[in-house]
Amino acid sequence: MSNLIATKNGTERNSRLGFSALPSISSWMDDIINTNFGNEFVSNFNTGITLPAVNVLDNDEEYKVEMAVPGLKKSDFDISLDNQLLSISAETKIEDSEENNNFTRREFGYSSFKRTFSLPETVETDKINAKYEDGILKVTLPKREEAKKKPLRQIEVS
C-alpha cells in the first residue's frame, strides 16, 4: 500500500509523499527473471501484469496519480474508495485457440493488479475522477479549499 501522505513508522522514506524507498518484491522478481533467463524465456511465459509504475504529482489544486497500463480497456479497471483508502485494480482474461488438421492449439492468460493509496484528509473525495487515455490511467484527487496553497499576501504595518 502506498501513502499519499507521509507516515511515521520508523522506516526511511524517499519522498515527502511517503512512498517506500525499497523496490517491491514483484519488481525484484521481474529483475531476477529478466537477468537470469533472458528475454527468450520471458516472451514465452505469461507473467501477467506486474504492479504498474505510478507517478504521484502534487500541485496547489490537486494530487494526480498517473499509472502506465497499456493494452487495457476502460471497463477493465475497478477504482474504489473506502474511507480514505483508494484502490485501483484491473483484471484481464485472454483466450486464443487455433485448429488445424494436424493439431489444436489453445492458449489463455489471466493478469491482474491492485494498488492502494492512503489519502490525506485534505482530498475532496466527492470530486475524485479518473480518465484512461493512450495507455495512461490518470486519477485526479482535488484538494479541499482549506488545503489549497494561498497566494502571497502583503500585510501593512499600521
pLDDT in tens, 5-56: 544 444 444 444 444 445 556 555 555 555 544 443 343 344 455 788 899 9
First and final C-alpha spacing in the chain = 51
| Phi, psi (degrees; rounded to nearest 5) at 25 | -60, -40
Q: How far is CA 19 from the centre of its chain?
A: 12
- Give me the CATH topology for the region 2-146: Immunoglobulin-like (2.60.40)
Predicted TM-score (pTM) of this structure: 0.60
In one-letter notation, the amino acid at residue 110 is: Y
Beta strands per DSSP E along the chain: 2-3, 54-58, 62-68, 77-82, 85-99, 104-118, 129-133, 136-142
Q: Supply the pLDDT for residue 142.
A: 95
The arithmetic mean of pLDDT across residues 71-97, rounded, is 89
Whose CA is closest to 88, among 147, 151, 1?
1
pLDDT at res. 117: 92
- Domain ranges in the chain are 2-146
Whether the Cβ atoms of residue 17 and residue 3 lie closer than 8 Å to each other:
yes
